[in-house]
Structures are given as structure tokens and as C-alpha cells.
Amino acid sequence: MIRAATVNDVAEIRAMIRELAEYEHSAEQARATEEQLREAMFGEHPAVFALIAEDGETGETMGYALWFPHFSSWTGTRGMHLEDLYVRPRARGGGHGKALLASLAAICEQRGYERFEWWVLAWNQPTIDFYKSLGVDFLDEWRVCRLSGEPLRELAAEAPAVLDRS
């Protein structure tokens, strides 16, 4: 079963974020607190949304998807960025990942989102193979860029004054 996350799922989502980070060999980078996640998902201005995959018989949480809308200046439409897709190891192969992706695709269709995009680690061949089986296009000509930490602060310090006309 796939359902929208509720505020009562925040602790479980945080636990799965940690599990995902460990799987991706990046546990030290997963610093989000339950309070931060609660605010991001259920605060006055949600920044991100989540779906939960549950076992139909036991109700146990098997996985989650965390996503947010984005905008394409080329198409003039919104799209969806999938931040996290995670299915617990014991539940893999049970259809939960595909059900989460299908539910997200349905949200895209319902809202008129033309693009549904996400990243996958280059070494994660089982996941890449799964995505290929769904007909996913891999945009090999694009590179992910990230500016964080001290380089982010240094560049920000060079910013001219910005006039806010909102």
C-alpha cells in the first residue's frame, strides 16, 4: 500500500534516511533531525512531500519516497524532483519501489508536471538496472554540481546587494 506520509511518520522517515545514507556509504552526511523533517514536510510552508510504502498485511513501513516540485524554464512547467527513494533490504523485490515510482508518476500526471527527475549513484548497478527496466532515460551529458561549506560561504560573501522587490 502506498499512502501520503503523516506527521506520525517523521521518526520512521528519519530512520529510513539514516538507512539509505548507510547504504550509500554517507552516514555522516545524514544530519537532518526529526524537528527539521517535521517542519520541512508539515510546517506552514512545506518544502518537501513524502509517500510511504507499507506491507499490505502487517502495515509495516517498507520504504518511502521524498520529493519536491521544481520548474523548467524551457517547458514553462513544473516537474518533480525525487530526492529519496528507499525500500528496506528485506522488502526489495516485492514491488514497493515500483509502486512508489508509479504513485509519483501519477502525481505528475494529475498536476501536469512534464518531468520527473532524480539522481542515482553511478556504482548502484542493481538500481540502475531497475530504472532501465522502467524505461528511464539517463542524461549522461549532464553533471551534478554542488557548492557547500566554506566555498559556498566564500562565494556568498562576494554577492552584491540584492534589491528585494517582492
Residues recognised as catalytic:
131
Rounded to the nearest angstrom, the gap between the alpha carbon of residue 62 and the centroid of all alpha carbons in its chain is 16
Query: Per DSSP, what are the bridge partners of residue 66?
Result: 50, 84
Cα(23)–Cα(25) distance, integer angstroms: 5
Nearest to 86 by CA among 6, 11, 18: 18
| Whole-number Å distance between alpha carbons of 98 and 37 | 24
For residue 1, what is its C-alpha cell?
A: 500500500
Residue 66 phi/psi, 5-degree rounding, is: -120, 125
